[in-house]
């Protein structure tokens, strides 16, 4: 039985509750709202005149969002979509995204988020697996959909253009610029498709029917590699999402002020981190989400940060690092001095150097947390007031229980590494049409086995060590990639590093290291010697490969471990 359940049965509280920041409750009301639309309607009523979403200096108020999402919900119902039908959304961070997502949910349907950068093969797989009967997508990706239509259940296609929800003159200019100047819209042919404008106009004729949603209804099919690497649709209910929003709100309650916050949203909303932490949480607070379509354009992002009176921002380590390295970031810090309250880092491990540089530059810490799609996604978060970098990902959120277990499912004492297991109202219902996979990740006691390795200290703070599939086993000894990477990146000539397991006939595996050099004079021999002086023998890299950059996903996660685990053997004079 999990240790924290034993504590509860014996009348003792989990250890982390004794160390919560002042004012943070130990439990939340997971049923504060029956559904995400209920939460939206309350905010639209309470903050009607305030901006809810801003993009390219065009803002939609909460009152406008209320009307637009009602219109879109009505249109979908008039198209014949029935409660529980899946609707795919293939949009970048535009004003159309919240309109589509909330409209789908208000119609009693299920959102299937799709990465706009998907190839036709990837798109077809997700559409077919989810059984989506309709899709909302940006015109720029219509040709990809045209190539993917076969073997899908799609009946309705709704097309939008970048400027569609902007004022008419600005919309015309933006759409012409996108199509004819930037040449970003390939030719396409999708008979029967309708424009978003036409859909909203149709929906405006009739009010939508109330689907009477409950917390048990599925809201999202959010696809993830999960714990096995096989793409799976995570079923997140309205109750899961409401609970996680309430948990985050409880943790940040002393930091944020309802109806006053502005959050910059550079991470894609189709990713669960930005969807929950930015879009849903700040709608709950009556905040304004400033949407950034392409955060890789650092110059434009800096302009947005300089000209926006924002109080919060979320991102990943690579984004914060890019900002810190950008020449214009000091001007941003001067412009936002005294107004920035919150910077949240998730999605990947934060480097100590990045955390320290951010604190020095902005005066506020990077608040790191831990989560996964299967938990909607936030499980743990550090206190917002923390200024010292500890390498921990924080304590379990209110109404969340975490245990560290060995391979046999036994609880481990503080300081011992094991699998992170989670229980809480934010934990998914299961995987879509995959009962065996669902049974695999849920233990007999109903706890979620995350497949992640971590350990808990005696205060209840969690330290993330690795995904279980990333742990390197050298002659029976476990090596956690993060430790090797942190040592390597302390070398002044190393800009980035990723450790992987390399097959070895003698040891089973040895450590390989992919490195991005800050200075080209760094040799593999020098870096190997540096690591050997700081790591015990079996943890020290055996091979090093220098790369110009580490390939990353849309939210900055490295692809190296998944796709190149055996290639350091071919590294530039890396063999010892």
Report the distance separating Cα 162 and Cα 138, nearest Å.
Answer: 7
CATH class of 39-213: alpha beta
pLDDT in the model for residue 531: 94
Architecture of the structural domain at 3-20+392-467: Roll (2.30)
Q: Which pTM was predicted?
A: 0.87
* Residues whose CB is less than 8 angstroms from the CB of residue 493 and which lie 6 or more positions away in sequence, other chains included: 517, 518, 519, 521, 522, 527
Would you call the peptide bond into 445 cis, given omega within 30 degrees of 0 as the criterion?
no
The count of other CB atoms within 10 Å of the CB of residue 367 is: 23
To the nearest 10°, the Cα dihedral for 84, 86, 91, 97?
Answer: -10
CATH class of 471-570: alpha beta
Whether residue 157 contacts residue 135, with contact meaning beta carbons closer than 8 Å, is answered with yes
pLDDT in the model for residue 460: 97
pLDDT in the model for residue 315: 94
Report the distance separating Cα 33 and Cα 548, nearest Å.
Answer: 48
The count of other CB atoms within 10 Å of the CB of residue 206 is: 13
pLDDT in the model for residue 11: 52
Domain positions in the chain are 3-20+392-467, 39-213, 471-570
* Mean pLDDT, each 10-residue run in order, the chain (576 residues): 40 89 96 97 98 97 98 98 98 98 98 93 94 97 95 96 95 87 85 98 97 98 68 95 98 94 96 97 98 95 96 93 95 92 88 92 95 96 90 96 95 96 98 95 93 95 88 84 91 94 88 95 95 91 93 62 49 35
Mapping DSSP to helix (H, G, I), strand (E, B) and coil, where does residue 156 land? strand
* Structural tokens at position 409: 């499912």
């Amino acid at each position: 039985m999990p240790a924290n359940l034993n504590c509860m049965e014996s009348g003792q509280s989990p250890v982390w509750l004794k160390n919560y920041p002042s004012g943070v409750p130990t439990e939340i009301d997971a049923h504060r709202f029956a559904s995400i639309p209920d939460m939206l309607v309350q905010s639209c009523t309470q903050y009607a005149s305030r901006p809810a979403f801003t993009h390219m200096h065009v803002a939609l108020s909460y009152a406008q969002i209320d009307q637009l999402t009602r219109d879109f919900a009505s249109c979908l119902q008039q198209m014949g979509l029935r409660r529980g039908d899946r609707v795919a959304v293939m949009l970048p961070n535009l004003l159309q995204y919240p309109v589509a997502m909330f409209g789908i949910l208000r119609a009693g349907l299920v959102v299937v988020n799709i990465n706009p950068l998907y190839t036709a093969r990837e798109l077809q797989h997700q559409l077919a697996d989810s059984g989506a009967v309709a899709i909302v997508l940006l015109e720029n990706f219509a040709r990809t959909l045209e190539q993917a239509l076969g073997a899908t259940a799609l009946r309705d296609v709704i097309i939008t253009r970048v400027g569609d929800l902007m004022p008419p003159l600005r919309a015309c200019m933006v759409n012409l610029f996108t199509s004819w100047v930037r040449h970003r819209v390939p030719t396409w042919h999708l008979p029967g498709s309708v424009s978003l404008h036409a859909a909203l106009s149709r929906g405006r004729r009739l009010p939508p029917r109330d689907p009477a949603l409950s917390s048990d209804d599925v809201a999202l099919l959010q696809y993830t590699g999960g714990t096995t690497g096989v793409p799976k649709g995570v079923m997140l209910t309205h109750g899961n999402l409401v609970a996680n929003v309430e948990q985050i709100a409880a943790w940040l309650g002393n930091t944020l002020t309802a109806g006053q916050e502005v959050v910059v949203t550079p991470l894609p909303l189709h990713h669960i981190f930005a969807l929950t932490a930015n879009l849903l949480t700040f709608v709950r607070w009556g905040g304004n989400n400033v949407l950034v379509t392409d955060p890789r354009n650092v110059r434009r992002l800096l302009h947005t940060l300089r000209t926006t009176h924002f109080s919060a921002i979320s991102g990943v380590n690579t984004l914060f690092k890019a900002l810190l390295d950008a020449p214009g970031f000091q001007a941003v810090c001067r412009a936002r001095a005294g107004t920035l309250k919150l910077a949240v880092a998730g999605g990947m491990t934060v480097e100590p150097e990045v955390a320290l540089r951010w604190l020095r530059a902005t005066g506020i810490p990077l608040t790191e947390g831990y989560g996964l799609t299967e938990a909607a996604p936030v499980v743990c978060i550090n206190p917002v007031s923390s200024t010292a970098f500890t390498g921990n990902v924080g304590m379990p959120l209110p109404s969340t229980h975490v245990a560290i277990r060995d391979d046999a499912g036994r609880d481990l004492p503080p300081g011992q590494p094991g699998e992170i297991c989670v229980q809480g109202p934010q934990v998914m219902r299961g995987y879509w049409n995959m009962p065996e996979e669902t049974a695999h990740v849920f233990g007999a006691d109903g706890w979620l086995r995350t497949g992640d390795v971590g350990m808990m200290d005696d205060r209840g703070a969690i330290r993330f060590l690795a995904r279980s599939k990333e742990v390197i086993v050298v002659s029976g000894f476990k090596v956690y990639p993060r430790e090797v990477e942190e040592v390597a990146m302390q070398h002044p000539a190393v800009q980035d590093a990723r450790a992987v397991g390399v097959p070895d006939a003698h040891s089973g595996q040895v450590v390989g290291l992919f490195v991005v050099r800050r200075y080209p004079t760094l040799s593999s021999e020098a870096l190997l010697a540096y690591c050997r002086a700081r790591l015990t023998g079996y943890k020290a890299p055996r091979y090093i490969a220098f790369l110009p950059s580490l390939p990353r996903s849309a939210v900055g996660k490295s692809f190296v471990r998944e796709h190149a685990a055996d290639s350091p053997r071919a590294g530039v004079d890396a063999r010892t």
